[in-house]
Chains A and B, each alone.
Chain A
């Protein structure tokens, strides 16, 4: 490097890179390369801004050829980090090479997929949907509109912020992602999620039995649902969820297998009179 002028990625190129990742992270999904093309399209904006010749650009882009897949929304931070690293490399930082870039990408994509899947997809979205479902009860549009506005506004703000933070921090961002404060925050969000999953269970699962036992005079001497309510209201509703959870979490059953099993239970239950939706035209 003969020139002493610090190279800097323009704000325009950074924004272009962010929006291309935000839009294109999974638009050409295949099981072979998953998010690789989205990543290349995004990072090329940065490379194009930093380097002059086509050969140089092509050579730098090769760092992003390998497989990439994570939860793409929280994954914004990885793309931001590599944008920062690419800038350091263009300024002649000897520590940054293809191997280091791919080390960071490979090292972060697994943990971030876990964090993103459990916090964003597994907790934040269901919580927003649960609130929206409550607001939409009876067919109101309020809940749907609430979800559209709140989800998109918060999620896009979050993605843009962590992308730019990742760029500013470069390689040092890795510590923050696995740091203590992040762990405490994660624990709090997961606790929130656990309570709300229970509340969703209570509000939206309603499994009851009409089973009654009558004596010779035709008087009811045992009403099963009444007995169950005496133990705890909604016992069947929570019991079925726990059964399904146990089958999937402890017996490693696939969701589809559990669904088929539930269909079988429903059929047998209807046959023996344990279940009866009591329908008529």
Chain B
């Protein structure tokens, strides 16, 4: 299994379109669609010619980074590196080790690699934000002269140079040359050795960090942990799928909303017939 130069270049282009906060395709399509590892799995699969395999590699990575909020422009990890460097390298590693893509071992390896390249993404994120300062500096000087034509150039055109330097070139180099490093590491470290055992165990435990970040964003007080534990039980003990669990959750949300609205309308003296007008 080799990643060809053409494939590496296509991966580089994807990393530019999908940057974390400053993505060439904008926030909704770039950051919140193409940047997500599950979607990255689809595109990496299309580039490498194995969509089911790449998506299976992407699933555990997506679980690890399921909630990635960038409050005030600080990131824990820029997922463009996870999606377009991590997934291809993990794919090559899993294939090289002869593992089944859906197996727990493949998942563990994928998560370990994802955590590793996540830090590369962080460097890319801060590098992009820093290099854009040049374009903005020039933009402010032109705006002083009421030259409004600079607005689209500064906001949309010049950042593409940043992406080429900070995102495209490193992604092409790392996916093209990184695969041999991954295979070297695999040969040097036996699967039943302490290091590999630790790596796979880390792969099992790290999704807990991702879900804890998510939990933090929806929990304010201790009693908020009860609905969370309820969700855990219907999934783990009752075995509901996530779609089914979402529907159970939706009915509770609906009751909550109705109760709150009923409280409001009784409190302000409206009859329930007036509810539509509020």
Interface residues, chain A, with chain B CB atoms under 8 Å away? 20, 22-34, 37-38, 40-41, 44, 48, 54-55, 57-58, 61, 65, 69, 72-73, 113, 117-118, 121-123, 125-127, 129-141, 143-145, 147-148, 151-152, 155-156, 159, 180-181, 183-185, 187-207, 232-234, 237-238, 240-245, 247-249, 255-256, 258-259, 262-263, 265-267, 269-271, 275-277, 279-281
Contacts and interface: CB of A to CB of B under 8 A. Distances in A.
Interface string B151-163: 1101110110000
B234 interface: yes
A265 B243 CA distance: 33
Contacts of B183: none
Contacts of A133: 38, 59, 62-63, 242
A234 B28 contact: no
7 cross-chain pairs, A with B, having the tightest CB-CB distances, nearest first: A198-B231, A139-B52, A202-B235, A122-B217, A244-B212, A184-B260, A202-B236
12 contacts: A24-B155, A29-B73, A30-B136, A121-B70, A138-B102, A139-B52, A152-B28, A180-B278, A181-B261, A191-B249, A201-B211, A270-B197
Interface in B33-74: 33, 36, 38-39, 41-42, 51-53, 55-56, 59, 62-63, 66-73
B258 to A, nearest CB: 9
Interface residues of B, number: 114
Given A188-B254, A279-B197, A194 B218 contact: yes
B181 interface: no
B182 interface: no
Interface string B188-213: 00011010111011101111110111
Contacts of B242: 130-131, 133-134, 196, 199-200, 203
Contact of B231 (A44, A197, A237, A275): A197
B205 A195 contact: no
Contact of A277 (B21, B155, B204): B204
A27 B52 contact: no
A57 B148 contact: yes
A61 B219 CA distance: 40
A242 B201 CA distance: 18
Contact of A26 (B23, B39, B154, B233): B23
Contact of B26 (A22, A151, A203, A244): A22
Summarize A's interface: helix, strand, loop or mixed.
helix
A28 B260 contact: no
Given A180-B264, A195-B231, A139 B159 contact: no
B51 A259 contact: no
Given A195-B248, A279-B197, A27 B156 contact: yes
B205 A37 contact: no
Contact of A129 (B38, B194, B233, B254): B38
B197 A276 contact: yes
B155 A37 contact: yes
Contacts of A258: 209, 212
B139 interface: yes
A151 B28 CA distance: 8
Nearest to A117: B69
A28 B136 contact: yes
A186 to B, nearest CB: 10
Contacts of A181: 261, 264, 278
A232 B53 CA distance: 34
Nearest to A202: B235
Nearest to A259: B209
Contacts of A147: 33, 36, 38-39
Contacts of A138: 52, 56, 102
Interface string B20-35: 0111101111011100
A196 B21 contact: no
Contacts of A121: 32, 67-70, 217
Contacts of A134: 241-243
Interface stretch (B3-11, B124-132, B169-177): B124-132
Given A205-B211, A232-B237, A277-B108, A29 B198 contact: no
Given A121-B67, A270-B198, 20 more contacts: A23-B26, A26-B23, A28-B159, A121-B32, A122-B218, A190-B218, A192-B249, A194-B227, A195-B228, A197-B218, A198-B232, A201-B215, A201-B228, A203-B241, A204-B211, A205-B63, A276-B197, A277-B108, A277-B197, A279-B192
Given A198-B229, A249-B216, A279 B202 contact: no
Contacts of A118: 217-218
Contact of B154 (A37, A123, A180, A266): A37
A261 to B, nearest CB: 9
A29 B41 CA distance: 26
Given A141-B51, A267-B198, A279-B192, A27 B241 contact: no
A245 B256 contact: no
Nearest to A194: B227
